[in-house]
Amino acid sequence: MVSVTVYRDSGVVLRVTKLGEADRIVSLLTRRAGRVRAVAKGVRRTKSRFGGRLEPFSHVDLQLYAGRNLDIVTQAVTLDSFGSAIAADYSRYTAATAILETVERLTSEEREPSLKLYLLLVSVLRALAETGRDPSLLLDAFLVRSMSLAGWAPALAECARCGEPGPHAAFSIPSGGLLCGECRSPGVARPAPGAIALMRALASGDWPSAEASDGSMRREASGLVAALLQWHIERGLKSLPLVDRGSVAEPAELRGYPAASRDALVEARADLPGFIS
């Protein structure tokens, strides 16, 4: 007897690639299963039953059929179509594209559940699509928080090596943040204190402080965030089986809700600093 496995999940489309004449492979970060690649048949036909629902940035509720190699999307319902609002503004589009690429790099292993990364992704795309927040600040906030989820939270107050409480002035990318007078080596960088304060504000969701920062602080903080992420990704991916495998179990009171309202409930209580509030 052949067993047929159909399952549901919600996810954000990260990437879409062609497969043959009419089909596509869709890469998604899903709520339950982590990053999944699935085949969407007939997407490129004019009258596809998926319409434009399976495009990058789309947040969809999916029904999938578990195939031998790749799963097959049998149904897709839009939860949030972030794509049109994001694509209408170039700086939002580039920030959102960098976010999707980072998610792919942080989830090099398929099917490693990463619920918190999924929630973070949905909430930053929502902020990019639906608020006037500065796209570059949203991108940096996402990068700092995704590093924390991966176990790479930068040391922005205490010493990265010995934990000595700050304030400290020296900052080292390979050490992962600030260094005290005892731990720092000669020639280590000394970023502007405002840039470190901005990174702290982005990490904690302190938007009034973040938005009060000036252009030079923002550029310096962006450079540090990008360098930290790059350093960790290049060295850390193999040990990354991240993020929060333990937290994927659904709370009992959410069982039986339709997936979309479950999303809303879980998001409402997720222990993540808001991008919007």
- Positions that interact with Zn ion (CB under 5 A): 159, 161-162, 164, 180, 183
Number of H helices, E strands in the chain: 8, 7
CA dihedral 37, 79, 92, 151 (to 10 degrees): -60
3-state secondary structure of 25: strand
Q: From the CB of 161, what's the least distance to Zn ion, in Å?
A: 5
With respect to Zn ion, which residue has the nearer C-beta, 162 or 264? Answer: 162
Judged by CB, which is closer to Zn ion: 133, or 184?
184
Rg (CA), the chain: 20
Please give the structure tokens belonging to residue 215: 């252009």
CB of 165 to Zn ion, least distance (A): 10
| Structure token pair of residue 158 | 């205490």
Q: Select from 110, 116, 144 the least CA-distant residue to 241.
A: 110
Shortest reach from residue 231's CB to Zn ion, in Å: 19
Please state, in angstroms and rounded to a whole number, the distance separating the CA atoms of residues 121 and 118: 5
CB of 179 to Zn ion, least distance (A): 6
CA angle 39, 43, 46 (to 5 degrees): 170
Cα distance between residue 110 and residue 67, in whole Å: 15
* Least gap, CB of 157 to Zn ion (angstroms): 12
Smaller CB separation from Zn ion, 170 or 229: 170
Q: How far is the CB of 184 from Zn ion (least distance, A)?
A: 8
Q: Is-cis flag, bond preceding 251, omega within 30?
A: no
Residue 127 or 180: the one with the smaller Cβ distance to Zn ion is: 180
**Considering beta carbons, is residue 160 or 243 the nearer one to Zn ion?**
160
Q: Nearer Cβ to Zn ion, position 6 or 162?
A: 162
Report which of 148, 178, 147 is spatially closest to residue 161, judged by C-alpha positions.
Answer: 178
